[in-house]
Amino acid sequence: MANTYYSHLPSDTDLAAPHSTQSSPLKPMFLAGNKIVAQHDAEEGIAHVRQDDLQLKKSIRILRVLQRMLATGLSLAALVPTTMTLIKFLQTKNIYKDVQMPNGTIVNRTAWAGDTKAWPTYMYFSIAATSFVMNLGTLIGYFWGTKAANYVATVGSAFNYAVQAVNLIVWVVAAAIYKYEKEILTNGLHRDLWGWSCSTAADALQKAFVDEVPFDKYCTVQSSSWYAGLAHIGSIVLGVVIMLMAGRRKSTQSRVKRRTQEYEGQFGGPGSYGGAPQYGH
């Protein structure tokens, strides 16, 4: 009797939840939601890297223009005084006058030192002139557009831009030689144009050649040219820094490209948020 009674009660197996062979209808919605979130995060990551690239691109362009303007101005500041000095030297080197020397003797001579060494000034002039032309050409190119500026920069790169290290060395060596030649003496006298203009020997001749060469003026003029050259070296260093920034941007562009390719490989193209931002130049 008892067995008959308990046989009508549900067993533990009957009370257990039925085993379903079908997946939950919520699972596809859950997976789709995860995909949308992942896609959105990927697009935000690409957009962030791309924004960094655009900001760096803008900074590089501004700095390049400023650096070119600075380099052009400083190379001109070094060029003008040396040009003035060479013109004055060529105009007066063959003008002879009778000059009474401190010992009372009369000497027929020019305003400049005997066996004048003009080559340091010609050297400095040549480097300043070449640098000015290259910088000015690139600067003018910026006003015609980026492509024109890049073309001019490429043409002038052999001296002034693409090989910034060589340019830096050339200017450092030129400034050092120009200064060294001013300081050395030959038989107790300066022979170069800069050193002679600033010497006591030139002061002794100033009265006789007052209408031809104002030595104090040309001493100051050539000194300013040398300092302008030092400042120009600083502008070249700035150009090197900008080149390093441009190298960093290439790395950023590679990151944008890589993330975009990963995005397209994972999601198969533009998504519901308008697609991944494209990397550019």
pLDDT at position 277 is 46
pLDDT at position 252 is 66
10-residue mean pLDDT profile of the chain (281 residues): values are: 51 51 51 54 64 78 90 97 98 94 88 95 97 89 67 49 77 96 92 96 94 97 98 93 76 66 60 44 45
pLDDT at position 201 is 94
pLDDT at position 82 is 98
Distance CA 67, CA 193 (A): 31
pLDDT at position 85 is 98
pLDDT at position 54 is 79
pLDDT at position 90 is 97
pLDDT at position 273 is 41
Domain extents in the chain: 50-262
pLDDT at position 111 is 96
Distance CA 279, CA 277 (A): 7
Report field, pTM of the whole predicted structure over 0.85: no
